[in-house]
Amino acid sequence: MLTDEQLMTTESVATLLNCTPFMVRQYIRAGQLGAFKLGSGKNARYRISHTHVSDFLQRRESRPVAA
């Protein structure tokens, strides 16, 4: 169910995660970061909720560190 939560672009999420918009799209395509896809083909755009970003960060923080 959608709430009044504001959605972010891949560019704004990249700024939050200190990475590139390309990496954000890679995380989305790999199923690691949830997003809403608007459009199709070359004109497709993604919008990401704060909840999706928060969940993504929690999962990354809970990963075991390689020795």
d(CA 57, CA 40): 27
Per-residue pLDDT at 1 exceeds 70: no
Give a yes or no: residue 25 inside a domain.
yes
Q: How many domains does one find in the chain?
A: 1
Helix 10-17 / helix 50-61 crossing angle, nearest 10 deg = 30
Model confidence over 10-51: pLDDT tens digits?
Answer: 999 999 999 999 999 999 999 999 999 999 988 889 999 999
pTM of the model: 0.81
Give a yes or no: residue 55 inside a domain.
no
Q: Which domain holds residue 16?
A: 9-48
Give a yes or no: residue 32 inside a domain.
yes
Residue, of 63 and 30, whose pLDDT is higher: 30
Distances (CA, A) of 54 to 13, 35, 39, 44, 62: 11, 12, 25, 23, 12
- Name which of 1-10, 17-26, 56-65 the model is least confident about: 1-10
CB 65 within 8 A of CB 56: no
Per-residue pLDDT at 3 exceeds 90: no
